[in-house]
Structure 1
Amino acid sequence: MNDHFYQSVSVLNGIGEEKEKELQQIGLETVFDLLQHFPYRYENHEVQPIEQLRHDDRVTISGVVQTEAAVRYFGKKKSRMMIRLVVENILVSAVFFNRAFLKNKINRGDTVTLTGKWDKHKLTITVQDFKQGEPDPTKQLEAVYSVGGSITVKQMRRFIQTTLQMYAEYIPENMPASILSAYKLPLRSEAYWSIHCPKNKEELKHARRRLVYEELLLFQLKMQAFKRQERLSKSGMSHRFDEDKVNDFIHQLPFSLTNAQLRVTQEIMKDMTDSLKMNRLLQGDVGSGKTVVASVAMYAAYLSGNQSALMVPTEILAEQHFEALRDLFREGNVNISLLTGSVKGKTRRLRNESIENGETDIVVGTHALIQEDVKFKHLGLVITDEQHRFGVTQRRTLQEKGYDPDVLFMTATPIPRTLAISVFGDMDVSAIDELPAGRKPVETYWVKHDMLERILRFIEKQVDQGRQAYVICPLIEESETLDVQNAIDVHAQLQQFFVRHHVGLMHGRLTTEEKEQVMDSFSSNKIQILVSTTVVEVGVNVPNATTMLIYDADRFGLSQLHQLRGRVGRAQYQSYCVLMADPKGETGQERMKIMQETEDGFALSEKDLELRGPGDFFGSKQSGLPDFKIADVVHDHKALETARQDAAAMIKSEAFWRDQTYAGLRQYLENSGVLDGQKLD
């Protein structure tokens, strides 16, 4: 990119010191920043026939003025002006508020073009924009930009048009002619002009297509180049183990693996025996059996003489994984250790020594695993569960405790393929898309709040039969801003209702020890009904719990509701999930209906992505999603897939690294730092 583009915005006419500061505050520091400040919508000034205009729409009409402007004043500075004009042989009224200064500029017989809100019943337009003369066919669409400070949309429009006039011709083309021809894409400089100043919808469509593909291709090139550099620079760890012993371990499990588990296990075994480093994401719906697959991988690492570390986000989950793995490895000589924040003093020192001298084969723990005092003798496999809950730095710190160990990320959040490609483009992705045999689907019902007593009677009946129940609330304490049930109040109410049973309370503000006490009491059935916030969303396993009531269910995303629902239905008993909500909008009602009809986490996650957008998918803006300027991973999923395939083919080809036609794309990769071994976050 030419140095011109990295000059300060102050080089442009009309941008003084004050405006420069205001532009910097919204992230627009250079000329190129302005060019990449794409419109978020367009005002349509296309003139349509009157019979096609819809009531209350913003429309543009053009006609001949038939009357002198009539002005009425009210208040100190307020006015209402009206004219009549003929449009397509129909007499139309035009109303202007607080624009009496136009009275002497509009005369009978003038042709005018007006944009504003259309009243179909009164044949009246409330004017927002006025222009003398016929409509300009080259300005049917007008860009609308996000702004800040005292900068108006009109000023932003002017700044960007000045930038285009001065610099557009210098925008270098970075795409090979073969791609432009194959996909019928406009030149880069043309696309920038057309995205900001489109002549019509067709031109805008092609400009957006070009810029979306370019942005996604550059991102995917970075991902694929990073993957290539990782593999070229690091030989990884080649595990050598007796495959027959691994198969014997699988056969002696107390249950048969599903076809999906077997397929995924084979993919992982292939990675582990390969000399290149494994970097794989394992997706599996709630209860699909990811831990068992992980145990096979850890057993293979053990057979090859290497240690494994499994890092999970909470102590409760760490203990559950520890217990589950102890059961699975009961027959062998595998030494398993638990390391959490609660393990202190002499016990912690002894466990650390056992890890450092290699006596411990598998370590299960929380972020305690990445503390400085934890040293491994020969760490060969790193597994993180619910990996998006850990920061990039935390995950990397654990990996750096070994010499390029194989890495397996696990998540029970079913991530749509479109999102997996964009967020985890530098990983291989495996999915367990099949539930173990014998699992009964959880029956899900959507009810209104006035059904509460009936639902509580149903829970009471389940508890009387020896089962247990969860009651989930969105907030811990009462909120003045949100009218939603809170865990503390609900707990107090339910204690009065369930006088014969023990009602527990759990939320994020309890200490780790308090949470463990509550969960131990619930696991051992000393607590029959557990009122909780979403801290039970991940990993909590109480097979005896068969009923879940979720208050204000419309406050949760589909994927989160599915995660919560996964806490029941974990044994042979028929289980139930009751969504209590009075959603006001159509979207809220649609989400409740989808939850009733769909058990497939992957299908739900696709729908959730459509309804809520990628930024909120993980319930947090800190999801690691790339911050695209113009592309949308949901809307542009086909372009994303195409860009991924093209990027992978380019990075593998010799021509990409040698031919002049790819020079622009190579330059981008060199500037990104990926080729120098810089980490991709």
Structure 2
Amino acid sequence: MNQRPEPLFPLFAGLETLDGVGPKTAQHFVQLGVQTPRDLLFTLPYAGIDRSLRNSVKGALLPATLTVAVTIGAHRHARTKGGAYRIHVEDSETHFQLVYFHARGDYLARQLPEGSRRIVSGRVEVFDGMAQMVHPDFSVPEEDLRSIPAFEPIYPLTDGVTQKLMFKATRGALAKLPQLDEWIDSSQKTSAGWPGFNEAVAAAHDPRSQEDLVSTAPARERLAYDELYAHQITLALARQTERRKPGRSTRGDGRLQARVIAALPYTPTAAQSRAISEITSDMGAAQRMNRLLQGDVGAGKTLVAFMALLAAVEAGGQGVLMAPTEILARQHMQALHPMAEKAGIVLEILTGRDKGSERQAKLAALSAGKIQILVGTHAVFQTDVQFSDLRLAVVDEQHRFGVRQRLELGKKGNRPDVLVMTATPIPRSLALAQYGDMDVSVLDEKPPGRQPITTALVSTDRLDEVVGRLRAAVAKGRQCYWVCPLVEESEVSDLIAAQERFKQLRAALGERVVGLVHGQMPPAEKDAAMQAFQEGVTQVLVATTVIEVGVDVPNATIMVIERAEIFGLAQLHQLRGRVGRGQAASTCLLLYQHPIGETGRQRLEVLRETEDGFVIAETDLRMRGTGDLIGTAQSGIPRFKVADLEKQAALMAIAQSDARKLLHDDPRLQSSRGMATRMLLWLMRQDEAIRLISVG
């Protein structure tokens, strides 16, 4: 099954195999992401023009595209070269003009002789009090009415590709589609009222009205589902392959966990308790755990992760917690240290800074099993780092670690369980698209004692007032972040903006008070600047967005974000989460520049209204779309041609459960529905999935 099935060959041939497409035109199609006839099947019309025949142009709301039968009257030649050539015509109730520029009069006299009957279709507008149709799209004898589509599909175009060519090419591609067996579960198909695949493709390319163009139209919804289902089958196969690798059952007795919980000044939230039990029961199973722990800023992920690590230690093994940067690794170390002391276990840190004999001593203790939990950066991936018995790897902040690193880590121990933590609340549809191969635990409550953060919108005209406020806060010993905008795509201009602001604030607040951190700094300088702020040496930190994840300074109570209107909501929410970590009340000031558009203001007001990251992420998705939300290129979220993740989240969830159920019942895809699903995977270019079937 490693070769593409023969019935699909014509769909994956070159575009030149279609009538009217030569090598040069084929090049133009590439701009639309179309390389084979198969791609044309999924390039659907986005609009349509109603060309149904009407009695008269009279009474129509102009301008509009209309189709009427007319009697051809007098021709008036253009007075100048390239001027207007006019033909007087009459329909059943009124008269109007057909207008042609750069026209050849002899040609029009032959095509539209005076006194003849024609059906004309095109855009009618009023000019100088007279209705006119400029360059009709169609003008045919009455008996050829059928040649004008009653509802004409409008396709996306690019240079060198016209509507007529697109129409012809898609019809050519449709003709190459073989009859395919059904891969959708029959009860799902019936309850949704979907047509078969071949009927759906044909109907999507031949809409009869505006209703057929919306995403909920049965033919379109079915094709969207097919895309999502193929994607979910691929993820489910990856999950199944991962799970088939024997894991190890890691069962703790709960004694260390109990010590830590007893010493906590608060009771864990219901969400934390639920996540802990989901994770420990996964660890106890024979398959490898591959779980995502998703929680908003300050939802208490660290405690949940530590409980999981303790379960590994209770079972006689080791755990590792990986952070994307050295600062975050040190911070985890600080947060976990008191808990590790309560549990009476050995916790160590390993980063790129460890050198020489100190590093050797840590490595020896690790391989002898004397270090029970290791906190580290990607330095943990190096070959000389050997564990005695690694049972659990916790990875903090998914988007810095790809699937490849997850697998690297998997090679470190004897098939360790993997738990990935992310502080970015991801709307459900995107979580399913990006992490569909993982099981998900969500922390959707905040632990008691977290201070609410007051969020205010302030125009940049009031900059002086803001600086005045900072001066007062600094005088009281408080600390503040000042985040500069990404001015343009180039990092150079960001840098200039940050340095300017840094100079101004130093002049206003004092030399020693203000620190600066930006993306262009060498890592050691960046760490030093962050550390000075963490230790309270500097009180105001001017930064580009490098501070968004996880930095913890409980004494920081003010967050100023300049040009907040150009940031994504999710990013603003992450930045705001840097304050409100201590006992004092905190404030986040969103500075925007006039004039701010209606949507810009609405987006910022969402932040003022709520601190719930999931609500914010859903709003962001609705207002901005998938691509902008996560920067689709590097996010691992597939681009779908028909499916719309914002609007069709529910469809994605159905596709996921269908895919998992089919693979549960038919893991090798051998049944008739399984074979049909293989055909779908080929059709959807899911070669990765096909490789997984043949490996599996």
Alignment of 1:278-677 (within 5 A): 278-475=289-486, 486-499=497-510, 502-582=513-593, 584-619=596-631, 621-653=633-665, 659-668=671-680, 672=687, 674=689, 677=692
**Residues 1:181 and 2:190 aligned together:** yes
Once the two structures are superposed, what CA deviation does each residue of 1:44-68 show, in whole Å capped at 9, x if it has no partner?
A: 235699899777x764454647865
**Residues 1:163 and 2:169 aligned together:** no
* Cα displacement (A) at 1:170: 4.1
* Cα displacement (A) at 1:506: 0.6
* Cα displacement (A) at 1:553: 0.8
| C-alpha spacing 1:358/1:601, structure 2 compared with 1 (3 Å) | same
- Does the 8 Å contact 1:615/1:623 carry over to 2? no
Q: Secondary structure at the match of 2:630?
A: coil
Residues of 2 paired with 1:389 and 1:513: CA distance? 19
| C-alpha spacing 1:189/1:329, structure 2 compared with 1 (3 Å) | same
Worse-superposed segment, 384-393 or 26-35:
26-35
* Cα displacement (A) at 1:97: 5.5
**Residues 1:132 and 2:139 aligned together:** yes
Residues of 1 paired with 2:264 and 2:30: CA distance? 61
Q: Secondary structure at the match of 1:469?
A: strand
Letter matched to residue 157 of structure 1: F
Which residue of the partner structure matches residue 32 of structure 1?
Answer: 38
* Cα displacement (A) at 1:602: 0.2
Worse-superposed segment, 559-568 or 384-393:
384-393
| 1:192 corresponds to which of 197, 201, 204 | 201
* Cα displacement (A) at 1:388: 1.7
| 1:6 corresponds to which of 12, 35, 44 | 12
Q: Secondary structure at the match of 1:617?
A: helix
> Given the two structures, how large is their TM-score scaled by the length of structure 1?
0.89
Residues of 2 paired with 1:220 and 1:539: CA distance? 31
Identity %, equivalent residues? 36
What runs of 5+ residues in structure 1 fail to find an aligned partner?
none
- Does the 8 Å contact 2:669/2:677 carry over to 1? no
| C-alpha spacing 1:335/1:138, structure 2 compared with 1 (3 Å) | same
Once the two structures are superposed, what CA deviation does each residue of 1:97-156 show, in whole Å capped at 9, x if it has no partner?
A: 5567685455677555444485799686674752115776744132313446x4444323
Residues of 1 paired with 2:471 and 2:547: CA distance? 21
Worse-superposed segment, 358-367 or 296-305:
358-367
Residues of 2 paired with 1:261 and 1:121: CA distance? 73
* Cα displacement (A) at 1:592: 1.4
Worse-superposed segment, 653-662 or 285-294:
653-662
CA RMSD after TM alignment: 3.4
Letter matched to residue 262 of structure 2: H
Which residue of the partner structure matches residue 41 of structure 1?
Answer: 46
- Does the 8 Å contact 1:80/1:98 carry over to 2? yes
- Does the 8 Å contact 1:79/1:100 carry over to 2? no
Letter matched to residue 641 of structure 1: A
**Residues 1:154 and 2:159 aligned together:** no
Q: Secondary structure at the match of 2:341?
A: coil
Residues of 2 paired with 1:655 and 1:339: CA distance? 41
Residues of 2 paired with 1:356 and 1:480: CA distance? 43
Which residue of the partner structure matches residue 236 of structure 1?
Answer: 247
**Residues 1:225 and 2:232 aligned together:** no
Letter matched to residue 586 of structure 1: E
Residues of 2 paired with 1:119 and 1:147: CA distance? 30
Letter matched to residue 154 of structure 1: K
Residues of 1 paired with 2:545 and 2:468: CA distance? 23
Once the two structures are superposed, what CA deviation does each residue of 1:397-455 show, in whole Å capped at 9, x if it has no partner?
A: 11221122111111110011111112111111111111121222211111222111112
- Does the 8 Å contact 1:225/1:675 carry over to 2? no
Q: Secondary structure at the match of 2:177?
A: helix
Residues of 2 paired with 1:184 and 1:255: CA distance? 52
Once the two structures are superposed, what CA deviation does each residue of 1:563-619 show, in whole Å capped at 9, x if it has no partner?
A: 001011111211111111135433212111211112110000001111221122224
Letter matched to residue 132 of structure 1: S
Residues of 1 paired with 2:360 and 2:614: CA distance? 43
Worse-superposed segment, 665-674 or 494-503:
665-674
| C-alpha spacing 1:63/1:675, structure 2 compared with 1 (3 Å) | closer
* Cα displacement (A) at 1:678: 7.1
| 1:247 corresponds to which of 258, 261, 268 | 258
What runs of 5+ residues in structure 2 fail to find an aligned partner?
none
Worse-superposed segment, 236-245 or 472-481:
472-481
Worse-superposed segment, 136-145 or 320-329:
136-145
* Cα displacement (A) at 1:555: 1.1
Alignment of 1:76-95 (within 5 A): 78-80=82-84, 89=93
Q: Secondary structure at the match of 1:229?
A: helix
Letter matched to residue 46 of structure 2: R
Residues of 2 paired with 1:655 and 1:279: CA distance? 19
Aligned length: 673
Residues of 2 paired with 1:480 and 1:358: CA distance? 45
Residues of 2 paired with 1:558 and 1:52: CA distance? 48
Q: Secondary structure at the match of 2:572?
A: helix
Letter matched to residue 16 of structure 2: S
Q: Secondary structure at the match of 2:391?
A: strand
Residues of 1 paired with 2:420 and 2:384: CA distance? 24
- Does the 8 Å contact 1:95/1:124 carry over to 2? no
